[in-house]
Amino acid sequence: MLLGTYSPFSVSFVRGVGSRLYDSTDKSYLDFASGVAVTGLGHSDPLILEALSRQLEKIWHVSNFFHITSQERCAERLLSLSPFASGVFFCNSGAEANEAMLKLSRRTHYVEGQGHRYRTLTFRNSFHGRTFALIAASGRSSHLEGFGPPMDGFDIVDVGDHAGIESAIDDETAAIMIEPIQGDGGIFVIPNEELRYLRALCDSRGLLLLFDEIQCGCARTGKLWAHEWSGISPDILTSAKGLGNGIPVGAVLASERCAVAFAPGCHGSTYGGNTLAMEVVLATLSRFSGSGFLSSVIEKSSLLRELLEDLQGRHGDIILEVRGKGLMLGLALRRGSAHDFAARALSLGLVVIPCSGNVVRLLPPLTISLEDIREGVDLLFSTCSGFVCDES
């Protein structure tokens, strides 16, 4: 048996093409989830498939005891698209990327003679991953329960509570860590002026600003990184989900100041930056940076947003609010559970996923067609129409 960590829906998908998924009876579903914002280029993208197949026949694994030239090419590519950064570390997942980011932020202060700075301010409703450090960082009681005392080093504050944020900073504070759009916590867009406030605060207090763009990055908002809309940049950024389009990979992008803090022996990963993942990331990045790609995401997201607002107008009985940015949107439900809503949508052939705060998450592939967007919203309408809630 499997350990009971998940309670999956009963459907099991056996193949996928573009924004379509198929179950074992060949019933087709429209994908409005992309895993969890992972398969941003849809399923079976020919360029990704070709990049991976080519590498599969050459070599899979050599370890980081040897130069992996695709790792260097991939880093150069990422850096050329991310002007704030001058160094990259590759790992295999979001949690690993965030762990490395936190270690790098502490280590930066350490090499600057400020080793007493180790604490990180984090925000309520955040989700950063499931390791001991990261469940403490997010502070969600359901994730901490039964695992002993939360790891020390995190102070949780509220977005927008400037007095609370400033009074939580002391001599031991190293960094402020935030998702520019909170994902799992309920699709909350952090306003641009709030990100700018945090940047200015970090600068004036000598703190590092850490962005977790594991869900909101990778072109999901129509820019490679969600924070680009704010005009400011972080000292360190993490990416994962959409970066490998389904092949496990994570990345930490560090500014010049932080990039020098890791020396041989400081940190590492057996699989991090392996040859298969690197080829996929290179292909993924070339799709993201292809001409017209980002503007098409913006065009699609305006249509989806408009249709969802219209849906909310017609089904205000069920939908309280439409939130989010780009193709990272959420429907906050007025009644009923987001889980039941997602189950009903699935039975009608639409894949959406629930998240905290009774929100239905919509994360379609960035390559979805305008037609499929219209069809998806029609299916959401049908989902609302027959949605019977247990409670009201």
Ligand X SMILES: *Cc1c(COP(=O)(O)O)cnc(C)c1O
Q: Establish if 184 lies at the interface with ligand X (CB under 6 A).
A: yes
How many binding residues for ligand X (CB under 6 A)? 15
Question: In the set 16, 87, 129, 330, which binds ligand X (CB under 6 A)?
Answer: 129
Nearest distance, CB of residue 98 and ligand X, angstroms: 6
Choose between 108 and 215: whose C-beta lies nearer to ligand X.
215
| Rounded Cα distance, 296 and 371, in Å | 14
Name the phi and psi angles at 272, rounded to 5: -55, 130
Question: In the set 75, 240, 329, 360, which binds ligand X (CB under 6 A)?
Answer: 240
Q: Establish if 99 lies at the interface with ligand X (CB under 6 A).
A: no
Q: Which residue is nearest to ligand X (CB)?
A: 94
Q: Let me know: does 201 contact 176? Beta carbons within 8 Å.
A: yes
Question: In the set 29, 127, 341, 387, which binds ligand X (CB under 6 A)?
Answer: 127
Q: Is 355 helix (H, G, I), strand (E, B) or coil?
A: strand
Choose between 296 and 356: whose C-beta lies nearer to ligand X.
356
Q: Let me know: does 383 contact 310? Beta carbons within 8 Å.
A: no
Query: Which token pair is 169?
Result: 């900073």
Please tell me the number of Cα atoms within 13 Å of 392 on its side-chain side.
Answer: 3
Which H or E element spans position 176? strand 173-178
Question: In the set 169, 214, 261, 384, which binds ligand X (CB under 6 A)?
Answer: 214
Nearest distance, CB of residue 216 and ligand X, angstroms: 7
Choose between 311 and 338: whose C-beta lies nearer to ligand X.
338
Q: Establish if 242 lies at the interface with ligand X (CB under 6 A).
A: no
Q: Is 245 helix (H, G, I), strand (E, B) or coil?
A: coil
| Rounded Cα distance, 350 and 67, in Å | 44
Binding mask 65-94 for ligand X (x = CB under 6 A): ----------------------------xx
Q: Let me know: does 252 contact 91? Beta carbons within 8 Å.
A: yes
Binding site for ligand X (CB under 6 A): 93-95, 98, 127-129, 179, 183-184, 212, 214-215, 240-241
